[in-house]
């Protein structure tokens, strides 16, 4: 049996198939890995509320990385600590002002598991919050009272590059931005220096797992730091080219049990 490894799983496009379910083979392999002493955790850009169902489905008992590292906590163990690194509210309001000038389609501000919307939009709510109702919607400058975990912006297609460039020029020192959510082209803004590797490092230290025994799986640009940080960074076949170019290994796609097949071989897990 191999020494305990820490296995970090991105959700969308990685652990989850395109229909947002976990394949039975992947589930069985993860169960087997856990039974042999390996530690499995989720590391996602999603908020906790939109990842807890998968945490429960895999019967995890580990800390979880949400909002690309801006929120890391252990749902079952308060001694791990509650690591929330939000944006400064003044910066957030300046960014919202810029977005308003671009007449963006919508703005969503998240504070841990609560969120606020600029415009009430049923399709947006179903797509990005699994139907959870916003605490409030309307003038975010007035509504917002606390430092937000993240700001999601849905710009008009023709404004994406201009808006990203403007935000980068004005706020590069204090915020990081990522784009995701095709075909929606969402821009996500979180505090600078936050990424999945920051969260994963915290978990690795908690379990005293050295870097060479960390395996991380991802597919998008918000996985770059984590894949680079892990001793074995694995890109999915369906992942972006940039991620594949820095990964140690490339496995099959999220539709083809890529995680299961890689772990079976790497950790010598035999499904009976």
Catalytic (active-site) positions: 10
Stated length of the chain? 272
> Which pairing describes strands 175-180 and 186-191: parallel, antiparallel, or unpaired?
antiparallel
Alpha helix locations (H) across 190-271?
196-207, 224-229, 241-246, 258-266
Contact 108, 151 (CB under 8 A): yes
Q: What are phi and psi of 3, to 5 degrees?
A: -60, 155
Rg (CA), the chain: 19
Q: In what order do the strands lie in the sheet with 64-66?
A: 64-66, 71-73, 82-84
215 three-state secondary structure = strand
What number of CA atoms fall less than 13 Å from residue 157's CA on the CB side? 3
Distance CA 217, CA 230 (A): 9
DSSP letters, 138-161, are S-HHHH--S--SEEEEE--GGGHH
The SS3 of residue 48 is: helix
CA torsion through residues 212, 55, 124, 88, sign: negative
Give first-to-last CA distance, the chain, whole Å. 16
Between CA 186 and CA 155 the distance in angstroms is 7
């Amino acid at each position: 049996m191999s020494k305990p490894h820490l296995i970090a799983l991105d959700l969308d496009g990685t652990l989850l198939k395109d229909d947002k379910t976990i394949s039975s083979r992947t589930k069985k392999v993860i169960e087997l890995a856990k039974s042999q002493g390996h530690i499995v955790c989720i590391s996602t850009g999603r908020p906790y509320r939109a990842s807890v169902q998968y945490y429960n489905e895999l019967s995890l008992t580990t800390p979880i990385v949400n909002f690309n590292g801006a929120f890391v906590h252990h749902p079952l163990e308060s001694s791990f600590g509650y690591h929330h690194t939000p944006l400064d509210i003044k910066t957030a309001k300046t960014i919202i002002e810029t977005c308003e000038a671009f007449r963006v389609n919508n703005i969503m501000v998240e504070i841990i598991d609560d969120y606020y919307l600029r415009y009430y939009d049923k399709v947006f709510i179903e797509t990005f919050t699994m139907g959870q109702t916003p605490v409030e919607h309307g003038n975010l400058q007035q509504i917002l009272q606390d430092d937000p975990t993240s700001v999601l912006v849905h710009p008009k297609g023709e404004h994406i590059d201009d808006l990203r460039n403007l935000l980068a020029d004005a706020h590069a020192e204090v915020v990081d931005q990522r784009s995701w959510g095709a075909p929606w082209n969402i821009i996500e803004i979180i505090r600078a220096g936050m990424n999945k590797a920051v969260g994963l490092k915290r978990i690795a230290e908690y379990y005293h797992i050295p870097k060479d025994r960390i395996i991380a799986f991802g597919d998008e640009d918000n996985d770059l730091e984590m894949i680079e940080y892990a001793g074995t960074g694995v890109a999915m076949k369906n992942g972006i080219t940039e991620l594949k170019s820095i990964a140690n290994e490339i496995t099959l796609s999220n539709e083809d049990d890529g995680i299961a097949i890689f772990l079976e071989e790497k950790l010598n897990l035999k499904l009976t």
